[in-house]
Amino acid sequence: MKVRVGVDLSVDEALLAGVGSEVQFVRIPEDPQGAIEIEFWVPALRPSIVRRQWQHLQGVRVVQLPWAGVDTLLKVFPPEVTLCDARGVHDIPTAEWAVTAILAMQKCLPFFLERQRQGKWALGQQSQQIDHPRPTKIKDPAAPMKEVAEATVLIVGYGAIGQAVGARLLPFGAKLELVGRTAHDGVEPVSNLDELLPHADIVVLTVPLTSETRHLLNAKRLMKMKPGALLVNASRGPIVETEALLQSLNAGRIRAALDVTDPEPLPEGHPLWQAPNLLLTPHVAGDSDRFMQRAFRLVREQVGRFSRGEALINVVKGEY
């Protein structure tokens, strides 16, 4: 008997090629009108639609998500359903976003982009950014240009994405400090975070959202950051306490680059939109024109393992 694998109607047929004849793909509409029997499901739409689809599915034994983070859907599926994440699918684009954000902020590109839109050539002492260097006889810089070389970069969450970020920063000459849930092979435990934060020039967050990591960067820890340091959040918005971050930004203590916020989507008129020293993108760090190819490469492997009765990879245990 063939394994029935559910995929969304929007999935390109070419992405399903290469799966053995023992597999039958079943298309799942956004609003199913009746019960659909499948054993393996690959939901790829936004969480609100996934919850709606789930109510019509029967016989599901495995759910393979195309995302690394599972926090939005963790409570949707019962314990008897094996939930798998997409560890490895988002590493490259998310790491590239993090490095891009770091370079953009170190080189004050948001400031210069605003001057470009105004049609103004930025000359000395125009910047309202923090940590502005004193004018010199040689040159009075328009903004506090910084380097990644020799900067201490603290990567909090040294999993697949954190490792990808670190690998791309090393060629720039950055000095890496690594934090994981527990200590291992040069990685400090998260319990040492308070001691590490004051020495970091750049702090990169790549941790999953769990009950342990919610507000990991709270008011107390944000105050421990070095004045002028850069906070880069490529994980989930609630990892950082929003009100405390706003206070730190408005006080000119730190800078930040956020791909995620709390709340999200960020509503119109929210004070984060106008916060100084902030680069903000709308949860796009993991996006890529190669995303679906990578995601369905994993899907094909997982479906093959399932059909052969082999152990699945990326199985979620607990909160991630």
pLDDT in tens, 223-238: 999 999 999 999 999 9
Shared-domain flag, residues 75 and 95: no
Range list of β-strands (E), 50-181? 57-58, 62-64, 82-84, 152-156, 175-180
Confidence (pLDDT) at 1: 77
User: Is residue 195 in a domain?
Assistant: yes
Distance of CA 227 to the CA centre of its chain: 25
Q: Catalytic annotation on 264?
A: yes
Q: How far is the CA of 259 from the CAs of 14, 15, 95, 192, in angstroms?
A: 31, 28, 12, 25
* pLDDT tens-digit readout, 246-287: 999 999 999 999 999 999 999 999 999 999 999 999 999 999
| pLDDT above 50 (res 133) | no
Output the pLDDT for position 142.
72
- Side-chain-facing half-sphere of 193: CA atoms under 13 Å: 21
- Residue 137: pLDDT above 90? no
Under DSSP, is residue 4 helix (H, G, I), strand (E, B) or coil?
A: strand
Is residue 112, in this structure, part of any structural domain at all?
no
CA–CA separation, 43 and 91 (whole Å):
20
Which residues, at least 6 apart from 147, have a Cβ–Cβ distance to it below 8 Å?
Answer: 106
Q: Per-residue pLDDT for 129 more than 80?
A: no
Does 235 share its domain with 103? yes
Mean of the pLDDT values across residues 76-98?
A: 96
Q: Is residue 51 domain-resident? A: yes
Same domain (yes/no): 96, 236: yes
Domain shared by 78 and 99, yes or no: no
As for how many domains the chain has, the answer is 2
pLDDT higher than 60, residue 313 = yes
Say yes or no: 304 and 219 in one domain. Answer: no
Task: Specify whether 254 is located in the same domain as 301.
Answer: no
Residue 247, in any domain of the structure: yes
Can you tell me the distance from the alpha carbon of 94 to that of 237, in angstroms, rounded to the nearest whole number? 15
Range of the domain at 39: 3-89+289-308
Is the alpha carbon torsion for 259, 93, 43, 298 positive or negative? negative
DSSP conformational letter for 197: G
Do 215 and 243 form a contact (C-beta atoms < 8 A)?
no
> Does residue 127 lie within any of the structural domains?
no
* 116 found inside a domain: no
Q: Are 90 and 68 in contact (CB under 8 A)?
A: yes
- Of 283, 297, 301, 305, the catalytic one is 283
Q: Please tell me the distance from the alpha carbon of residue 314 to that of residue 301, in angstroms, as a whole number.
A: 11
Q: Is residue 57 part of a domain?
A: yes
Angle between helices 160-169 and 91-106 (to 10 degrees): 40
CATH code assigned at 161: 3.40.50.720
Tell me whether residue 170 is in a domain: yes
Averaged pLDDT for residues 148-163:
97
Which of 30, 195, 212, 264 is flagged as catalytic? 264
If asked whether residues 85 and 97 sit together in one domain, one would say: no
On the question of pLDDT at 127 being above 60, the answer is no
Residue 152 sits in the same domain as residue 297: no
pLDDT, averaged across the chain: 93
How many whole angstroms separate alpha carbon 62 and alpha carbon 84?
8
**Do 186 and 300 fall into the same domain?**
no
Question: What average pLDDT does the segment 294-320 reach?
Answer: 94
Structural Rg of the chain based on CA atoms: 22
Do 206 and 164 fall within a single domain? yes
Q: Which residue has the tokens 């409570």?
A: 75
Identify whether residues 216 and 159 lie together within a single domain. yes
Lowest mean pLDDT of 12-21, 34-43, 152-161, name the range: 12-21
Catalytic-role residue among 90, 236, 253, 300: 236
